[in-house]
Amino acid sequence: MDNKETNELEKTEEEYEYEREQIDKMFPNALFDIALELEELDEIVTEQSYIVVKNTYSCYCYDDCKKNTDFFHITCKPCEKMTNKFIIQQLINQKLNLQECNHRFLEGFIKSKNSDCQLEIVVGS
Ligand SMILES: [Zn+2]
């Protein structure tokens, strides 16, 4: 963890706990842990109105039992924005499940190199 911004270091343990509670309340049905900061949830990930979120299950947890890549198709209406929060909610609705592996902390999304509308899930343990 060397990519932390300095302002995050100023958060106290209490503030951190409070944030985790708020996030848990926001997404009660998530089958994964959301390791984003509260203020990151409203960040717009992309201006696209249609994206595909890809999860490759490529970590070692699946070495013995390979799992096929999942594609989650997400569309937002003109009045909505592709924020972290919006995408996470759609992934919950589409039953993204990271509980079978040690890497169940969703840290964000990165754009795939070969496509503007394809994102990959960043997970940590
Ligand atoms: Zn794993």
The mean per-residue pLDDT over the stretch 42-59 comes to 95
Q: Is residue 89 part of a domain?
A: yes
- Average pLDDT of the chain, as a whole number: 92
Number of domains the chain is built from: 1
Q: Is residue 55 part of a domain?
A: yes
Strand locations in 27-111 (E): 33-34, 44-46, 50-55, 70-75, 82-83, 105-111
- 65 alpha carbon – ligand 1 mean position (Å): 11
Closest to 67 (Cα-Cα) out of 92, 24, 44, 98: 98
The per-residue pLDDT for 85 is 98
- 80 alpha carbon – ligand 1 mean position (Å): 32
Q: Is residue 1 part of a domain?
A: no
Name the residue range of residue 89's domain: 6-124
Of all residues in the chain, what percent carry a pLDDT higher than 70?
93
The mean per-residue pLDDT over the stretch 23-45 comes to 96
What is the rounded distance in angstroms from the CA atom of residue 36 to the CA atom of residue 89? 13
- 87 alpha carbon – ligand 1 mean position (Å): 21
Q: pLDDT by residue (tens digit) across 53-111?
A: 999 999 999 999 999 999 999 999 999 999 999 999 999 999 999 999 999 999 999 99
Res. 51: pLDDT tops 60? yes
Please tell me whether residue 46 adopts helix, strand or coil conformation.
Answer: strand
- 78 alpha carbon – ligand 1 mean position (Å): 35
**pTM for the whole structure:** 0.88
pLDDT tier, 11 (very low <50, low <70, confident <90, very high otherwise): confident
Please tell me whether residue 54 adopts helix, strand or coil conformation.
Answer: strand
